[in-house]
């Protein structure tokens, strides 16, 4: 069947013929990832302004070739790679269908990257991207784009799998989307550092059931050291939801919670505790979300929230806190305004409509927002 997306038109296998949104034979196009691809195009547009020399783009797991086709339509010198011969044929046909130039190769991306260097490499595998990250960071000049769909290992729900894949200890907390993103960023930062490179997150987010990160590479070892210094640990109380964090590669977990004195504490790390985006760059990308994008409205809202989000390493869920306190949840804007009136910083977080970030402690949040609760 034919699909139109972002100003291009491609052919994809009909879902009735075996295509699906998961893994397995016959998977060529995932319609639920259109938002991901729209944000990618906006990011590529903004990055071209930031680094005009970045011209070559590798769609590392091409499938239908939709990412490569859309990048080629933006003027990038595109290479599409896939290990599946049918996918290679389809990606080549879809480039030709849109009158676009591009190389399409039937190759394992790790082998290809050890022979070639690209300005931008886009990793969009099913599951974890980790098997491809070493080759990507070692052989990319400017920007590595990474999707991870294995959210259960990332956020600690499947903890042993998360430990194996990401070489860190994830914990399943109330802020599990952010836990997953920061576990992913930690692995990417540490991998790049092995090559004396800094992988700087300029835009990253969690949407639906995937995490997505765009990392600008810096070849200075001193910059890599700065990123490693942004790794550390989060200590989370399962009873009162208090959390603290510390920078460094050696954890010093407290014996008791500072908030309630309890001993049911979880420690996660080393995770990335630094900024998950460059706010100015996110605003530049937001300006490049255009009407032909099928998910333009959602992409705009996502990037707006991400640009304004506080640089705090965890977020709170308003409904979870109010349930903990046996309160009804007020309107979010009213809730956040109460925090600001009390002298704290507070913003929405992009993870969900009830997620927010603040520099206040749990007890300070409770006290500051007590009067914002509407009577039943």
For residue range 35-44, list pLDDT tens digits in order.
999 999 999 9
Question: Can you give the pLDDT at residue 19?
Answer: 42
Question: Can you give the pLDDT at residue 138?
Answer: 96
Same fold, 2-232+269-308 and 317-372: no
Contacts of range 338-342, beta carbons closer than 8 Å, 24 or more positions apart: 338/368, 338/369, 338/371, 338/372, 339/365, 339/368, 339/369, 341/368, 342/367, 342/368
Question: Can you give the pLDDT at residue 350?
Answer: 97
β-bridge partners, 86: none
CATH architecture of 317-372: 2-Layer Sandwich (3.30)
Contact 145, 57 (CB under 8 A): no
Question: Can you give the pLDDT at residue 313?
Answer: 96
Q: Can you give the pTM of this predicted structure?
A: 0.94
Question: Can you give the pLDDT at residue 18?
Answer: 43
The domain segmentation of the chain, as residue ranges, is 2-232+269-308, 317-372
Burial 346-358 (b: 16+ CB within 10 A, else e): bbbbbbeebbbbb
Compute the CA torsion angle 231, 242, 207, 335 (nearest 10 deg): -130
Smallest CA-to-CA distance from 115 within 101, 129, 105 is with: 105
Q: Is 255 exposed, middle or buried (0-12, 13-18, 19+ CB in 10 A)?
A: exposed
Smallest CA-to-CA distance from 267 within 237, 311, 231, 228 is with: 237
What stretch of H or E contains 324? helix 318-324
Question: Which CATH class for the 2-232+269-308 domain?
Answer: alpha beta
Contact 232, 254 (CB under 8 A): no
Q: For the chain, which ranges sit under pLDDT 50?
A: 17-25, 27, 375-376
């Amino acid at each position: 069947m034919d699909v139109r997306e972002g100003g291009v038109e491609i052919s994809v296998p009909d879902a009735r013929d075996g295509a699906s949104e998961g893994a397995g034979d016959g998977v060529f196009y995932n319609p639920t990832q259109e938002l991901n691809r729209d944000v990618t195009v906006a990011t590529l547009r903004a990055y071209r302004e930031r680094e005009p020399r970045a011209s070559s783009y590798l769609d590392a797991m091409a499938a239908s070739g939709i990412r490569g086709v859309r990048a080629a339509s933006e003027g990038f010198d595109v290479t599409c790679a896939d290990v599946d011969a049918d996918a290679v044929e389809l990606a080549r046909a879809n480039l030709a269908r849109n009158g676009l130039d591009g190389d399409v190769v039937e190759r394992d991306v790790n082998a290809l990257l050890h022979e070639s260097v690209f300005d931008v490499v886009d990793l969009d595998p099913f599951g974890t991207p980790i098997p491809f990250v070493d080759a990507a960071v070692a052989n990319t000049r400017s920007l590595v784009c990474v999707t991870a769909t294995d959210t259960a290992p990332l956020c600690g729900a499947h903890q042993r799998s998360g430990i194996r894949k990401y070489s860190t200890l994830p914990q399943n907390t109330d802020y599990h989307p952010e836990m997953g993103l920061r576990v992913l960023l930690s692995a990417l930062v540490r991998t790049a550092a092995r090559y004396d490179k800094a992988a700087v997150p300029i835009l990253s987010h969690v949407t639906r059931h995937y995490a997505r990160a765009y990392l600008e590479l810096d070849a200075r070892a001193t910059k890599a050291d700065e990123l490693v210094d942004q790794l550390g640990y989060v200590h989370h109380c399962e009873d009162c939801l208090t959390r603290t964090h510390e920078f460094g590669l050696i954890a010093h977990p407290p014996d008791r919670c500072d908030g309630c004195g309890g001993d049911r504490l979880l420690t996660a790390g080393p995770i990335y505790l630094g900024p998950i985006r460059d706010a100015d760059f996110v605003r530049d990308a937001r300006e490049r979300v255009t009407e032909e994008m099928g998910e333009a409205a959602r992409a705009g809202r996502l990037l707006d929230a991400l640009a304004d989000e506080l640089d705090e390493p965890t977020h709170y869920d308003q409904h979870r806190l109010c349930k903990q306190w046996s309160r009804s949840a007020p309107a979010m804007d009213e809730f956040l305004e109460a925090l600001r009136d009390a002298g704290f910083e507070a913003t929405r977080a992009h993870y969900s409509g009830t997620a927010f970030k603040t520099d206040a402690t749990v007890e300070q949040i409770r006290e500051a927002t007590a009067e914002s609760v509407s009577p039943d």
